[in-house]
């Protein structure tokens, strides 16, 4: 899963409804004019890359539209615009140029209009325009704002998502206290990741007639439930049937304590004529998400996890037959996760993305015989796929390149890059060599590890080296390009990076992935130490200048290793890490996570798994801390509260350990603002350079 967070960065000015918008030339954020000095990747260069977002192919397979977002460091915000190109990557055109971001792009089914969401008077609304960018019109006028939408295939209706207030608040009972900010909490799940829960995203369906939306119906009227599922779900969790009569959507119809204890979401079918809703996945008690309906409407495929309460269970592909009402698991013998499901145009196959050995490639399932075939086999991460005749239009990235758009031949897997958003900037940057190595663990297993070398690596020299600890805990150290935990910027600062796919990560079979649950501080920590010890055998690694860095579970790993590293490391950096597992158990909001991964509550003295977890809480080893540590945290992080980072910092200072605390009042589990991102990078390298160089 990945989080999508939409910040309304600025306001787009639209002249009279139905007229072409004013193409602003004022404070519009565009492609930065930057020169890379000495080929070095710096924080400023990193934030200058264009970020490709959504991609959509025209119904006639003639054009690809996509968004590119650029950031202004000075203005501390970003702006996304819409571009188009032909299927071979030629004839690139910028279709919008406004002061507010355009997003959620798609084609109207007849191909005559491009639709998108943009901000009008501080509220997100749906707009349409011609394929050449002219005749831009606002087609929604909802005072609450719209988060996402999709046309029905026959274009007679449109579905959209917006926030709806269902529960009563303290202000409702105290209308005279209109300036009061207090919240009266009566149940759990009152906060989630970075948001106080006071409203729910609801699904609406409305009539659509040539640019006019009317008669909206709240599919979930009166229900205190959400669709899409928060916080990571988007419009991929809601889809139309091919006959435009049914909407398939994802929802976890639980609330309060029940919600926080369970991952049981289901696939619901809503008939727009009868207004009846049917649950087609009730038998499965884990996650069911992201339904996609076959072109002939006979089948519905979705992603599914079997076990309730386990958010990192195997992600399977289930297919439901709309006639027989039977559901089949097509991935019983496929020991990999599936994601980004999409039907072939003839309905005979399902394309998907799967992670194997730290690389995300494209696969296909043939429905008739159930066979799975790998289409691409590249050292990269594919992130999205759109069928387009005999090809797939896909986005991909790697450790050394940000996201670009590729055309993939379905038959032979040949990949052709068709976008070059960052070609000029990449040509100026020297990237370090990326190598994959397999290492033997303490229990005789083979562990995959990425090694990233400095751009001007000289094997006759000795380099300070960083052990990278992955978060999740169950998310692969794959070929991802990050704008914070970017391996190439670490390498550009003359560090060697060791990034192991330790125990508890997907892409290496379900048994490898599951081992970590209930074993925090166990085998995966031994795996980390194997990786850094193995690299220390190389003559070019300065074993007296080792650092250890990581975020989230990686931050927990740093805190744990700080008390158990036997003087291997000379500097630590932990971002959003769990420091005190007992307080974490009651501070976090998704109780299914701590119940599964830690084994249960710390007060359950008869639970051996739980007691082992809490015995391995990093705060229990502070008496052994002897190494400088930098703690970083965001105060809007409700998953792992900032108090965890503050506790760790306070403990280090009280013990006389050199320590710094970088706290962000306006960031959550990530760092999303440009200037904060650059401050993060500068602080990160200042700390490492101080102790390792």
CATH 2.120.10.30 correct for 8-146? yes
For range 463-469, the mean pLDDT: 98
Q: What pLDDT does residue 18 have?
A: 31
**In the numeric block, which tokens belong to residue 97?**
């140029």
Per residue in 95-151, pLDDT tens?
Answer: 999 999 999 999 999 999 999 999 978 899 999 999 999 999 999 999 999 999 999
Q: What pLDDT does residue 2 have?
A: 36
Instruction: Give span(s): CATH 2.120.10.30, the chain.
Output: 8-146
Q: Which residue in 552, 557, 613, 617 is the catalytic one?
A: 552
The CATH superfamily holding the domain 430-692 is Alpha/Beta hydrolase fold, catalytic domain (3.40.50.1820)
Instruction: Give span(s): CATH 3.40.50.1820, the chain.
Output: 430-692
For range 655-684, the mean pLDDT: 98
Is the confidence at residue 26, as pLDDT, over 50? no
- The full DSSP string for 641-683 is -HHHHHHHHHHHHHTT--EEEEEETT--SS--SHHHHHHHHHH
Is the confidence at residue 13, as pLDDT, over 90? no
For range 271-292, the mean pLDDT: 97
Whether pTM > 0.85 for this model: the answer is: yes
Active site residue 673: no
Q: Which residue in 381, 527, 597, 637 is the catalytic one?
A: 637
Active site residue 669: yes
Say if strands 541-551 and 571-575 run parallel, antiparallel, or are unpaired: parallel
Q: What pLDDT does residue 211 have?
A: 87
Per residue in 475-487, pLDDT tens?
Answer: 999 999 999 999 9
List own/partner pairs for 416-424 with CB under 8 A and 24 or more apart.
Answer: 416/88, 416/89, 417/89, 418/64, 418/85, 418/87, 418/88, 418/89, 418/393, 419/52, 419/66, 419/85, 419/89, 419/92, 420/89, 421/50, 421/52, 421/68, 422/49, 422/50
Active site residue 575: no
For range 59-73, the mean pLDDT: 97
206, exposed or middle or buried, with CB in 10 Å at 0-12, 13-18, 19+?
middle
Distance of CA 627 to the CA centre of its chain: 32
Confidence label for 27 from pLDDT (cuts 50, 70 and 90) = confident
Q: What pLDDT does residue 4 have?
A: 32
Q: Which residue in 202, 575, 619, 669 is the catalytic one?
A: 669
Task: Give the separation between CA 237 and CA 354, rounded to whole angstroms.
Answer: 18
């Amino acid at each position: 899963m990945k989080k999508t967070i939409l910040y309304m960065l600025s306001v787009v000015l639209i002249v009279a409804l139905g007229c072409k918008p004013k193409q602003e030339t004022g404070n519009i954020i565009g492609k930065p004019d930057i020169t890379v000095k000495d080929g070095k990747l710096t924080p400023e260069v990193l934030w200058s890359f264009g970020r490709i977002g959504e991609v959509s192919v025209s119904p006639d397979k003639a054009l690809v539209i996509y968004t590119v977002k650029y950031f202004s460091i000075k203005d501390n915000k970003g702006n996304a615009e819409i571009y188009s190109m032909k299927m071979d990557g030629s004839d690139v055109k910028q279709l919008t140029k406004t002061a507010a971001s355009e997003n959620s792009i798609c084609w109207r089914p007849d191909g005559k209009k491009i639709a998108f969401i943009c901000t009008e008077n501080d509220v997100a609304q749906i707009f349409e325009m011609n394929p050449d960018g002219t005749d831009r019109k606002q087609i929604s006028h909802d005072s609450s704002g719209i988060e996402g939408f999709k046309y029905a295939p026959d274009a007679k209706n449109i579905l959209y998502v917006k926030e709806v207030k269902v529960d009563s608040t303290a202000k409702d009972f105290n209308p005279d206290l209109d300036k009061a900010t207090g919240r009266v909490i009566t149940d759990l799940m009152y906060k989630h990741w970075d948001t106080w829960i006071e409203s729910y995203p609801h699904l609406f369906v409305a009539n659509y007639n040539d640019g006019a939306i009317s008669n909206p119906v709240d599919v979930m009227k009166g229900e205190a439930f959400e669709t899409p599922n928060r916080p990571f779900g988007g419009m991929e969790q809601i889809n139309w049937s091919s006959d435009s009569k049914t909407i398939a959507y994802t929802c976890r119809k639980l609330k309060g304590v029940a919600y926080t204890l369970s991952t049981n979401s289901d696939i619901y079918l809503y008939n727009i004529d009868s207004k009846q809703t049917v649950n087609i996945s009730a038998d499965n008690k884990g996650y069911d998400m992201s339904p996609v309906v076959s072109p002939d409407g006979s089948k519905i495929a979705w992603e599914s996890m079997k076990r309730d309460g386990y958010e990192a269970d195997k992600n399977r592909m289930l297919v439901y037959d709309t006639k027989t009402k039977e559901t089949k698991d097509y991935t019983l013998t496929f020991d990999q996760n599936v994601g980004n499901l999409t039907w072939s145009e003839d309905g005979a196959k399902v394309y998907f993305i799967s992670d194997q050995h730290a690389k995300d490639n494209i696969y296909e399932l043939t429905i008739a015989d159930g066979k799975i075939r790998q289409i691409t086999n590249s050292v990269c991460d594919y992130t999205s796929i759109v069928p387009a005749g005999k090809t797939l239009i896909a986005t991909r990235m790697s450790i050394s390149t940000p996201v670009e758009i590729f055309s993939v031949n379905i038959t032979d897997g040949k990949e052709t890059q068709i976008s070059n958003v960052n070609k000029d900037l990449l040509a100026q940057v020297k990237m370090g060599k990326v190598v994959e190595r397999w290492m033997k663990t303490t229990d005789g297993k083979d562990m995959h590890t990425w090694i990233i070398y400095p751009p001007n690596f000289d094997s006759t020299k000795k380099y300070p080296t960083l052990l990278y600890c992955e978060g999740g805990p169950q998310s692969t150290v794959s070929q991802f390009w990050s704008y914070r935990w970017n391996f190439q910027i670490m390498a550009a600062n003359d560090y060697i990076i060791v990034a192991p796919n330790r125990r508890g990560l997907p892409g290496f079979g379900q048994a490898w992935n599951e081992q970590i649950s209930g074993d925090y501080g166990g085998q995966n920590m031994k795996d980390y130490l194997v990786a850094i010890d193995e690299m220390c055998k190389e003559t070019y690694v300065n074993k007296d200048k080792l650092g250890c860095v990581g975020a989230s579970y990686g931050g927990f790993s740093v805190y744990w290793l700080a008390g158990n590293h036997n003087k291997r490391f000379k500097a630590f950096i932990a971002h959003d890490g769990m420091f005190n597992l007992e307080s974490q158990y009651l501070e976090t909001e998704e109780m299914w996570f701590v119940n599964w991964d830690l084994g249960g509550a710390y007060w359950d003295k008869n639970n051996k798994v739980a007691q082992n977890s809490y015995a391995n809480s990093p705060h229990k080893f502070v008496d052994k801390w002897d190494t400088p540590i930098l703690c970083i945290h965001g105060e809007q992080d409700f998953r792992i509260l900032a108090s965890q980072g503050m506790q760790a910092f306070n403990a280090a200072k009280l013990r006389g350990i050199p320590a710094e605390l970088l706290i962000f009042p306006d960031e959550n589990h990530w760092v999303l603002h440009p200037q904060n991102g650059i401050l993060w990078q500068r602080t990160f390298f200042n700390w490492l350079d101080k102790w390792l160089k």
